[in-house]
Amino acid sequence: MPPSKSTATSQDGTTLAVYNYNNHDAPVLVCVHGYPDNASLWAPVADLLADDFQVVAYDVRGAGASDHPGSTAAYVLDRLQEDFRAVIDQVSPDRPVHVLAHDWGSIQAWHFVTAPDLESRIASFTSISGPSLDHAGYFLRRRSRAALKQLLHSWYIFYFHLPWLPELGWRKGWAHRAFNRLERQQPDDNRSLGDYVNGIKLYRANVVPRLLRPAQRRTDVPVLAVSPDADPFVTTPLQTDIAQWAPNLTTKVIRGGHWMPRNDPGLVARLVREHTGQVARWGT
What is the pTM (predicted TM-score) of this model?
0.95
The whole-number average pLDDT for the span 110-125 is 96
**β-pair type (223-228, 122-128):** parallel
What confidence score (pLDDT) does residue 177 get?
87
In this prediction, residue 261 has a pLDDT band, given cuts at 50, 70 and 90, of very high
pLDDT above 70 for 188: no
What confidence score (pLDDT) does residue 179 get?
85
- Structural domains in the chain plus CATH codes: 4-283 (3.40.50.1820)
CB 129 within 8 A of CB 231: yes
What confidence score (pLDDT) does residue 284 get?
39
Label residue 256 left, alpha or beta by phi (over 0 means left) and psi (-120 to 50 means alpha). left
What confidence score (pLDDT) does residue 143 get?
74
In this prediction, residue 228 has a pLDDT band, given cuts at 50, 70 and 90, of very high
pLDDT above 70 for 57: yes
What residues are paired with 126 via a beta bridge? Answer: 100, 224
Query: Per residue in 122-143, pLDDT tens?
Result: 999 999 999 999 999 999 998 7
In this prediction, residue 180 has a pLDDT band, given cuts at 50, 70 and 90, of confident
CA dist 72 → 62, 64, 166, 202, 219 (Å): 11, 17, 15, 8, 28
Percent of the chain whose predicted confidence (pLDDT) is above 90: 83
The whole-number average pLDDT for the span 26-39 is 96
